[in-house]
C-alpha cells in the first residue's frame, strides 16, 4: 500500500501498526531526542541566534538503533521498489521547526523541490502533528516532474498560486510515532506562520551512487540531507 501510494501521489503516510510510540517511550529515545533539540535551542539563544530558524541535530542520537531498525524494516523495501534495488538508507537527523516560522528566514517554507531528482525522506513525528504544527505540504502527483533547472536556487521555488492551480495540496499530519515518506522531487514546503513547534526524526533513502554523490557536494545543496549512519 505504501509503495503504491508513493508511486501515485509522491507521498505516503506511515506508522500505523508499527508500534513506534511505545518504543519511543519505553527506550527513552523520545525524551533524549527532545532533550537534544532543547539543548540546541538553548545554545542558539545564548549565542544570540534567531528563534525562528529550524534546528537540525546531526550528531549521533544514543539508543536510536532499535527505532531505525524497525523503520528500515518497513521502509527499505519501499525505497527499493521506488528507487531501484540498490536503494539504501543514507542516514538520519533530528529536526525541529519553531513555533513561529517565516519564509523570510526559512527558505523551505517556500514551495520548492530539493534539487536532486528522486530521493525519499521519511519523517517520524516526535509529537502529535496538526495543521498548527507547520506541517509539510506536498503537491500531490508532482514527484515525476522533470524541472527545467536544478542549478539556481530561485528556479526551484514556486508561487503558492501556481501550485494550488495545478495540484491538490496535502498536509502531512499525524500522531506521535506516525509520519510520512515522500519523494523530495515533489513540490513541497513547510507551512509558515505562528503555531506550535514540530519535532521529528528524519530518515533519508537514496540509490547507492546518489548517496555517494550527495555526500561529496555542499551539504546545503540540495535541501539539507543527513550526516549520521546507523553503525
- % the chain with pLDDT above 90: 77
Determine the pLDDT at residue 102: 92
- Is the per-residue pLDDT at 68 higher than 70? yes
Lowest mean pLDDT among 35-39, 66-70, 86-90, 218-222: 218-222
Determine the pLDDT at residue 230: 43
How many angstroms from the chain centroid is the CA of residue 218? Answer: 18
Determine the pLDDT at residue 223: 64
| Beta bridge mates, 94 | 57, 201
Determine the pLDDT at residue 228: 46
Lowest mean pLDDT among 5-9, 126-130, 226-230: 226-230
Determine the pLDDT at residue 99: 95
Cβ proximity of 20 and 64 under 8 Å: no
Q: Give mean pLDDT, residues 144-173.
A: 92
Average pLDDT, the chain: 91
226 is a domain residue: no
Exposed/middle/buried for residue 209 (C-beta within 10 Å: 0-12, 13-18, 19+)? exposed
Between 81 and 52, the more confident residue is: 81
pLDDT in tens, 96-140: 999 999 999 899 999 999 988 999 999 999 999 999 999 999 999
The CATH number of the domain where 138 resides is what? 2.60.120.620
Cβ proximity of 75 and 205 under 8 Å: yes
128 is a domain residue: yes
State the pairing for strand pair 188-190/55-57: unpaired
Note down the domain range covering 192. 2-215
Determine the pLDDT at residue 194: 93
227 is a domain residue: no
Exposed/middle/buried for residue 135 (C-beta within 10 Å: 0-12, 13-18, 19+)? buried
Determine the pLDDT at residue 208: 86
102 is a domain residue: yes
Lowest mean pLDDT among 26-35, 120-129, 151-160, 162-171: 151-160
Domain count of the fold of the chain: 1
In whole angstroms, how far apart are CA 121 and each of 38, 43, 76, 160?
A: 23, 27, 12, 22
229 is a domain residue: no
167 is a domain residue: yes
Determine the pLDDT at residue 229: 45
Torsion-angle region of residue 11: left (phi > 0), alpha (psi -120 to 50) or beta?
beta
- Is the per-residue pLDDT at 219 higher than 80? no
15 is a domain residue: yes
Exposed/middle/buried for residue 182 (C-beta within 10 Å: 0-12, 13-18, 19+)? buried
166 is a domain residue: yes
Between 160 and 51, the more confident residue is: 160
Determine the pLDDT at residue 52: 86
Amino acid at each position: 500500500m505504501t509503495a503504491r501510494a508513493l508511486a501515485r501521489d509522491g507521498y505516503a503516510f506511515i506508522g500505523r501498526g508499527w508500534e513506534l510510540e511505545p518504543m519511543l517511550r519505553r527506550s527513552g529515545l523520545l525524551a533524549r531526542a527532545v532533550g537534544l533539540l532543547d539543548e540546541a535551542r538553548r545554545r542558539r539563544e545564548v549565542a544570540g541566534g534567531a528563534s525562528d530558524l529550524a534546528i537540525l541535530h546531526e550528531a549521533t542520537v544514543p539508543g536510536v538503533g532499535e527505532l531505525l531498525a524497525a523503520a528500515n524494516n518497513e521502509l527499505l523495501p519501499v525505497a527499493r521498489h521506488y528507487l531501484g534495488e540498490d536503494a539504501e538508507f543514507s542516514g538520519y537527523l533530528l529536526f525541529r521547526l519553531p513555533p513561529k516560522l517565516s519564509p523570510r528566514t526559512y527558505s523551505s517554507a517556500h514551495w520548492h523541490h530539493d534539487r536532486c531528482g528522486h530521493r525519499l525522506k521519511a519523517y517520524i513525528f516526535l509529537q502529535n502533528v496538526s495543521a498548527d504544527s507547520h506541517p509539510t505540504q506536498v503537491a500531490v502527483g508532482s514527484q515525476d516532474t522533470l524541472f527545467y533547472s536544478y542549478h539556481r536556487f530561485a528556479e526551484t521555488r514556486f508561487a503558492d498560486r501556481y501550485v494550488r492551480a495545478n495540484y491538490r495540496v496535502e498536509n502531512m499530519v499525524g500522531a506521535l510515532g506516525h509520519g510520512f515518506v515522500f519523494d523530495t522531487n515533489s513540490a513541497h514546503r513547510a507551512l509558515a506562520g505562528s503555531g506550535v513547534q514540530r519535532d521529528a526524526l528524519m530518515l533519508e533513502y537514496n540509490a547507492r551512487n546518489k548517496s555517494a554523490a550527495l555526500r561529496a557536494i555542499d551539504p546545503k545543496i540540495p535541501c539539507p540531507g543527513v550526516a549520521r549512519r546507523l553503525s
